Amino acid sequence: MRQKGWLSILSTLVAASVAAQDKPDFSGRWVLDPSTGVGPDVARSLTVRQPVVRTHVYGALMPPFFKELSVERQFVTEVRTETYQIGVEGGTVGGVAPTNRGPAPDVNVSQTRFLVRWEDNRLVIDTGSYSGPSREAAPYSEHSEIWQLDAAGMLSLSIRDRGSGIASTTKTLTYRKN
């Protein structure tokens, strides 16, 4: 009888894990495929954590989902860690103190934005920073990453960078699981 209880709990946990798997799990250590072009701005390896959430803030069970993606990127001379909240859009806007001298002059206001979302089985991470009232009005930079697993289980990252004063670049990097 006791084994049946444990079996029931185990099958529930397995079913919850399978439900979260309708989206790819990028967790693990990934090493850059040697055939991929290498430069100083390319991470040689990635350590990715993508925890599954199964309960809400009050502890009740809910359909499992990937809440965040935490990426440790190992470059030749440094390590950078970033955490992205999946399904979240946001940013910041710098403010200007109000004055009593009438309408505020047209000033450059710094802004950042981010959006992390699923597009089918691809995870899309968009970030940008702007220093004017609109993207075209002042210096800006934008960075986009598309994460996906190919049929062979390799991690493919398509990275696009663009901004004012720089040429738009797109590169595709391939990582194998280590």
Per-domain residue ranges of the chain: 24-94+107-177
| pLDDT tens, position by position, 103-149 | 555 556 788 999 999 999 999 999 999 887 777 778 899 999 999 99
| pLDDT tens, position by position, 59-86 | 999 999 999 999 999 999 999 999 999 9
Give the span between the Cα atoms of 131 and 140, in whole angstroms.
6
- DSSP-based three-state secondary structure for 5: helix
> CA quadruple 55, 56, 57, 58: dihedral positive or negative?
negative
This prediction has a pTM of 0.78
Give the CATH architecture of domain 24-94+107-177: Beta Barrel (2.40)
